[in-house]
Amino acid sequence: MKRVYIMAAIAIFIASLFASLLTLSQVHSVKTELTSRLQVRSETLAESLTESIMSSYNSGWTDGVQKIINKFTRSESLVGLSVFDNTGAMVAGSKDMPLPEDRNLINTVMLTHQGIGEFVDRGNHTYYVLIRPLYVDDVIVGSLAVAQNATYIDRNIREIWQRDLVRLLFQILIFALTILVLVRWIFFHSISTMVESLQALRRGNSQIDTIPHSSFFKPLAGEISKVTKSLRQARQSASDEARMRLEMIDSPWTAERLREFIKAYLKDRPIFVLSNREPYVHSKTKNKIEWSVPAGGVVTALEPVMEACGGTWIAHGSGNADEETADKNGRIMVPPDEPKYTLKRISLTEKEIEGYYAGFSNEALWPLCHMAHTRPLFRSDDWVEYRKVNAKFAKTLLAEIRNVKRPIVLVQDFHLALVPEMVKKSRPDALVAIFWHIPWPSPAQFSISPWRKELLGGMLKADLVGFHTQQYCNNFIETVGNEIESRLDYEQFSIFRGSHKTVIRPFPISISFPGSAEGHAEPSKKTLDELGIHVEHLVLGVDRLDYTKGILERFKGLEFFLDSNPEYQGKLTLLQIASPSREMVEKYREFAVLVTEEAERINKKFGVNGWRPIVLEKRNYSHEQLIHLYQFANVCLITSLHDGMNLVAKEYVAARNDESGVLILSEFTGASRDLNGALLINPYSAEETSAAILTALMMPKTEQQRRMKIMRTSVSDYNIYRWSAEHIKALLQLE
């Protein structure tokens, strides 16, 4: 549509330019004709007045000359007359005679024996002044100046421009309206109808057999209808194959297989997901609304599942245009370009965000669960807001499932630990699972929380509690044993409180693979060129700007490497993508400053001739941009100090279709249990990090491919679709 408007604008510009040239030609012609007439009239008038004036002038009767001048200047067109002697001095003349500013012009006329005409401007009026010599017996004795009103020439020219401009504007308006009608009712309407039909077909509407069209698009619509029939047949074949594979353990998990699994096991029971972060954020910039996908493992993991399964995702609406884009109930269909499920947004006040999110979630629970040497801050005001917001999420969910029998509720992460208990009190028939996306600490570490019993009590009302690793499950069940009166069943790994049973299970989360790099365009070096990175070896780090990710330790390791291996100076660059995170929290703001200062220090130490060992990008990158960077990076360096899983490691592996590249991975990540082909390091040791970088750069291609093949098989066998299926299946088995 935008291109149509651009083409219409170009056509209007060309037409306007052509019309302006025609008007300019007409103006020139009219001006030339009117000026010529005025000059002829001035010559004739001057010649006819010469005899009357000369009789009095020759006799020296100045008053007689003045009387003649006064008699003839009563005409509107004749503005003034003046007579000058042979020295250029005025003998007689009209009052306010508009003479040229160049008074030597009179002497020039007498010297050249030729009359001279000139236009003179006075205020808002224009005059034509003709000066011609006066003769007595072929001797010049003076000169006569005749001034006529020439304002009408400018007025005629102005009227021509105004008339043609009005005509041009009217023509442009008619032209624009014609284009609008043609585009709207013939092109846009027909294309929109065809697009809607194609979207419905892509969403699985099997009722559409042909694509609606106008006669203009009949050939195109016919071809599209044939393609859609083939697509429907292919989809049906894929669906049949997915159903056949449901019970085949070794068959790959895909979005289609997960969809068939949901149909077979849930039998149209809807899924409700609750998380703090929403999958799509709508923001208004310069009166334009745009959407974006926020960074974070929860969104990365769950978005493909919701696209495959449908359902409702309830989350905090954090965008400044979220309310504007949602309906009156806070709902919107997403993804924006191809809606497949419902996003229900919850509005939070600044006080609630400050206490629940910035305070209790990120200054208390986050450092409590991560062994990153940051002291948790427990404030009673934050705890009050945390409970209030959890209650708001629970209330919103209960309203959504009011008329739903036996709903399935998947609560995500540490922000909503109290929600399972709140939901179960009102809807004991609901199947509730909570997945804890970050590590669960040791019982001794968790015991410092003043509200540890309330948190555990909220979680234990869930039917299923999931973690990334078995170690986190062990820590959790030991924590419950220390803090809550309950019965622990280590054989089934379950916890009983009264009559309620909670099962604890490890579900190592993953990504949508195959599919992370497939279908993308050929990798482009555009991003690297824009950043001025032209080196032999590219080391890549992709993280949120979080103190648990070990970014400072990564920089220390790189510094140690460049000191120990100076031959790589100028040949290697670490591109660190550090997406802004939790900027409202003071600790994160301080950490961002430290990261910037450390990068600048190392660059100042080693940088030469425009080469920087560290290129720090503190902004979000799109998924496609990251895919290209993954494919160009010789090494992906992950140095998390403590991480529940770390999906960047798996995204890097999935992107390497060429089965080359080396993954250096912190042993303190959940991913280190799954990716056996990675080089594992202790990120606190700069020497280990340096040695791993050198090993990675010197590793033969055959060894790279052997290791990468092992990791790609691991990610492929246990992708996000299998994670979701096992998660849901384990929950359904508890009924």
- Mean pLDDT, rounded, of the chain: 86
Q: Given this model, what pLDDT does residue 461 score?
A: 96
* C-alpha distances in Å from residue 430, one per residue of 29, 275, 461, 721: 88, 17, 11, 23
Domain shared by 638 and 553, yes or no: yes
Q: Is the pLDDT of residue 60 over 80?
A: no
Domain shared by 80 and 52, yes or no: yes
Q: Given this model, what pLDDT does residue 506 score?
A: 96
Domain shared by 415 and 477, yes or no: yes
Number of domains in the chain: 3
Residue 662 is part of a domain; what is its CATH number?
A: 3.40.50.2000
Q: Given this model, what pLDDT does residue 224 score?
A: 61
Report the distance separating Cα 494 and Cα 338, nearest Å: 41
Q: Given this model, what pLDDT does residue 685 score?
A: 97
161 — pLDDT class (breaks 50, 70, 90): confident
**161 vs 212, which has greater pLDDT?**
161
Domain shared by 503 and 533, yes or no: no
**172 vs 366, which has greater pLDDT?**
366
End-to-end CA distance of the chain: 53
Last residue of a domain, one of 155, 177, 194: 155
Q: Is the pLDDT of residue 235 over 70?
A: no
Mean pLDDT, range 371-392, rounded to an integer: 94
**446 vs 148, which has greater pLDDT?**
446
Domain shared by 557 and 692, yes or no: yes
Q: Where in the sequence is the domain holding 599, given as residue range(s)?
A: 526-717
Q: State the number of CA atoms in the 13 A half-sphere of 54 facing the CB.
A: 17
Measured over the CA atoms of residue 47, residue 52, residue 56 and residue 62, the dihedral's sign is negative
Q: Given this model, what pLDDT does residue 96 score?
A: 75
Q: CA 334, 335, 337 angle in degrees (round to 5)? A: 120
687 — pLDDT class (breaks 50, 70, 90): very high
Q: Given this model, what pLDDT does residue 384 score?
A: 97
Q: Which residues, listed in sequence order, are joined to residue 116 by a DSSP beta bridge?
A: 131
Q: Is the pLDDT of residue 248 over 60?
A: no
Residue 41 is part of a domain; what is its CATH number?
A: 3.30.450.20
Domain shared by 429 and 543, yes or no: no
Domain shared by 54 and 133, yes or no: yes
- Residue 130 identity (one-letter amino acid): L
Q: Given this model, what pLDDT does residue 242 score?
A: 47
Q: Is the pLDDT of residue 213 over 70?
A: no
pLDDT in tens, 252-304: 888 888 888 888 888 778 899 999 999 999 998 888 888 888 866 678 778 87
Domain shared by 586 and 701, yes or no: yes
**Helical (H) or strand (E) element with 129:** strand 125-136
244 — pLDDT class (breaks 50, 70, 90): very low
Tokens of 60: 């020296």
Q: Given this model, what pLDDT does residue 124 score?
A: 81
Q: Is the pLDDT of residue 101 over 80?
A: no
Report the distance separating Cα 536 and Cα 540, nearest Å: 13
Domain shared by 415 and 307, yes or no: yes
Q: Given this model, what pLDDT does residue 250 score?
A: 59
696 neighbors 680 (Cβ within 8 angstroms): no
pLDDT in tens, 306-365: 888 889 999 999 888 998 899 988 999 998 888 889 999 999 999 999 999 999 999 999
Q: Is the pLDDT of residue 540 over 60?
A: yes
Q: Given this model, what pLDDT does residue 219 score?
A: 61
212 neighbors 221 (Cβ within 8 angstroms): yes
Domain shared by 680 and 591, yes or no: yes
Task: Say if 175 falls within a structural domain.
Answer: no
Task: Say if 201 falls within a structural domain.
Answer: no
